[in-house]
C-alpha cells in the first residue's frame, strides 16, 4: 500500500502520492536515503533483515542514493532494492540503475519481483513493472520496449531465478525522458514503497548500445492519483478527466454470492454522491474475480456482481441522463499476483468508472 492520494472523503490512505497541483504531501518515510540511520523516523519498508548480510552498498564500493526493502506479501522476502542513478543518456532516454541484494540467510526467489502485473506480454525476469512518475507534469513513464512492442529495453535475469545470501544483481531500464526542466522523478515498483524525489543527472558516459537501439512508441501515461484504502477494501485512480473506483468484492458480497451486503450500502452511497456531483453521462461497471475456480463459475459471478452494483447505484443516484455499461471479466484482468492471498483479494473487485 505504498502509493497514494487522499482525494475522497470515503477513502482513507496510509501513504500519499499526488500531483503537486493538488498540494498534497508525499510521505518521505516510505523509503530511506543513505543517511537515514541518523533519522529514527525513517523506514526502509515492511520487511526486516534477518541479519544475513550488510545493508549498505552493494559490495563494490558504490553507495545508493535511495534504498527500500521488499514487501514480503508481494515480493521475495529479505530483498533490498538500491537505486544508484537516474541518468539522461540522450535527450530522449533516461536510464535507471538499481540493484537487488538478498540480505537474508536463505536463497530468495526473484522471478516476477519487478514484473508488470496484468500485462499479457509481461516478462517475469525484467523490471518492466518499474515506472517513473513526473510529478511536475502529472505523467507516468513506463519502460521502453523494443520494436516488437513486447520486449523490455532493460535488464533480463532469466538465467538466475533466485539470489543466494549476500548476492546482488545490477539492473537497468531505459525510459522516455521527461522535459529538460524536470530534475526529480519518483520511482514506483510493484514490491517496495515509492522512491521519492530521485534526482536526474547527466550520464558521464552515455551508453551507445542503449541510446541507438530502435524502440517502439514510448508509453507516457496521464497520471493524477491512485489511492488504496487503509484496510484494502477500496482504491481509486484518476487519469486525466476520468475517475475509477475499485471496490473489494469481499466487502460488497459474501463468498461466491452476488447479493450486496449491508456493509456495501455506505460505500455505494458515497460513490453515488460523487457521480451526482460529476458531469458524467456514462458509468462503466466492471466485475472481476480471482483465478480460484474456473471460467464457468467466475465469468457469470463477476457479471452478476456488476449488475447488482448497477441496480443499487441506479437507486441511489438522483441525477437523470446517466447510462450504464456493465461487464463481467471473470479472472481475465488481474491487478495483482494470484499466487498470494493478498493478491487474490485485490483481484476480487468491482470497478466503477466515470468522467469528472
Sign of CA dihedral 18, 20, 84, 131: positive
Q: Which residues contact 344 (CB under 8 A, 6 or more apart)?
A: 290, 291, 292, 336, 338
pLDDT, one tens digit per residue, over 202-228 is 999 999 999 999 999 999 887 654 444
Go through the domains of the chain in sequence order and give each one's CATH number: 20-222 (no CATH), 225-355 (3.30.1330.60)
pLDDT values of the chain reduced to their tens digit, one per residue, 356 residues: 334 333 333 333 333 333 333 333 333 334 555 544 333 233 334 333 333 444 445 545 679 999 999 875 455 678 999 999 999 999 999 999 999 999 999 988 888 889 887 666 778 899 999 999 998 888 889 999 999 988 999 999 988 888 999 999 999 999 999 999 999 999 999 888 889 999 999 999 999 999 999 999 999 887 654 444 444 566 777 666 788 899 999 889 998 899 999 889 888 998 999 999 999 999 999 999 999 989 999 999 999 999 999 999 999 999 999 999 999 999 998 888 888 888 888 899 999 999 98
pLDDT, one tens digit per residue, over 62-107 is 799 999 998 754 556 789 999 999 999 999 999 999 999 999 999 8
The angle, 0 to 180 degrees and rounded to 10, between the axes of the packed helices 295-316 and 262-277 is 60
Burial class (CB in 10 A: 0-12, 13-18, 19+), 6: middle
**Phi, psi dihedrals of residue 93, rounded to the nearest 5°:** -130, 130
Nearest to 112 by CA among 86, 79, 139: 79
Polymer length in residues for the chain: 356
Amino acid at each position: 500500500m505504498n502509493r497514494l492520494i487522499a482525494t475522497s472523503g470515503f477513502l482513507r490512505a496510509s501513504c500519499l502520492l499526488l500531483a503537486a497541483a493538488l498540494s498534497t504531501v508525499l510521505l518521505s518515510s516510505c523509503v530511506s536515503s543513505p543517511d537515514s540511520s541518523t533519522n529514527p523516523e525513517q523506514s526502509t519498508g515492511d520487511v526486516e533483515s534477518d541479519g544475513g548480510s550488510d545493508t549498505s552498498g552493494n559490495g563494490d564500493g558504490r553507495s545508493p542514493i535511495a534504498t527500500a526493502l521488499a514487501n514480503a506479501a508481494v515480493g521475495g522476502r529479505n530483498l533490498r532494492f538500491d537505486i544508484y542513478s537516474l541518468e539522461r543518456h540522450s535527450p530522449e532516454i533516461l536510464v535507471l540503475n538499481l540493484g537487488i541484494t538478498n540480505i537474508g540467510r536463505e536463497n530468495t526467489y526473484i522471478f516476477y519481483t519487478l514484473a508488470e502485473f496484468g500485462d499479457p506480454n509481461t516478462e517475469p525476469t525484467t523490471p518492466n513493472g518499474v515506472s517513473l512518475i513526473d510529478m511536475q507534469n502529472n505523467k507516468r513513464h513506463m519502460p521502453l520496449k523494443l520494436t516488437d512492442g513486447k520486449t523490455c529495453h532493460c535488464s533480463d535475469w532469466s538465467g538466475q531465478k533466485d539470489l543466494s545470501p549476500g548476492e546482488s544483481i545490477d539492473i537497468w531500464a531505459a525510459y522516455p525522458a521527461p522535459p529538460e526542466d524536470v530534475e526529480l522523478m519518483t520511482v514506483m515498483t510493484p514490491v517496495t514503497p515509492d522512491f521519492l524525489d530521485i534526482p536526474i543527472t547527466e550520464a558521464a558516459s552515455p551508453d551507445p548500445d542503449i541510446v541507438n537501439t530502435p524502440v517502439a512508441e514510448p508509453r507516457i501515461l496521464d497520471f493524477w492519483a491512485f489511492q488504496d484504502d487503509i484496510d484494502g477494501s477500496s482504491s481509486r485512480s484518476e487519469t486525466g478527466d476520468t475517475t475509477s473506483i475499485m471496490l473489494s468484492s469481499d466487502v460488497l458480497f459474501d463468498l461466491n454470492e452476488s447479493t450486496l451486503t449491508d456493509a456495501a450500502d455506505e460505500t455505494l452511497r458515497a460513490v453515488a454522491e460523487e457521480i451526482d456531483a460529476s458531469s458524467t453521462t456514462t458509468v462503466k461497471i466492471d466485475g472481476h474475480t480471482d483465478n480460484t475456480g474456473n471460467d464457468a463459475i467466475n465469468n457469470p459471478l463477476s457479471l452478476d456482481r456488476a449488475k447488482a452494483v448497477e441496480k443499487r447505484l441506479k437507486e441511489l443516484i438522483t441525477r437523470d441522463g446517466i447510462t450504464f455499461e456493465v461487464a463481467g471479466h471473470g479472472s481475465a484482468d488481474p491487478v495483482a499476483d494470484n499466487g498470494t492471498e493478498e493478491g487474490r483479494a485485490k483481484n476480487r473487485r468491482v470497478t466503477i468508472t466515470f468522467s469528472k
